Structure 1
Amino acid sequence: MNTIEEEVPLGRRRRYSVEFKAHVVAACQGPGVSLAAIAFLHKLNANLLRRWV
């Protein structure tokens, strides 16, 4: 699954699709799941993922 819609030059914000966000948030819903570990697997900042959840 592609995490971003296109490669972004340095200094530009990435844009994530709604489907990608839903997939990652769903992965965080299990009991005992580490949000930081899920963020690391998807190359995201844990604080960004926390906002999505």
Structure 2
Amino acid sequence: MLRHKAFKFRLYPNPEQAMQMRRTLGCSRFVFNHFLAKWNETYAATGKGLSYQ
């Protein structure tokens, strides 16, 4: 029988670390949304999504 384990962690960043985390997550969201829009545009125009190839 396969059992999965999960771990929960709670972070207590100092103000400088919290600011850096917000900045990093903001950049990640921007990049994700940018390429999601590109994928949607390509799919609407060609019927095929973008690929890594």
Normalising TM by the smaller chain, what interval? 0.3 to 0.5
TM-score (norm 1): 0.33
- Bigger RCO (CA 8 Å, 6+ sep): 1
TM-score (norm 2): 0.33
Point out the structure with the larger helix share. 2
Pick the structure with greater CA Rg: 2
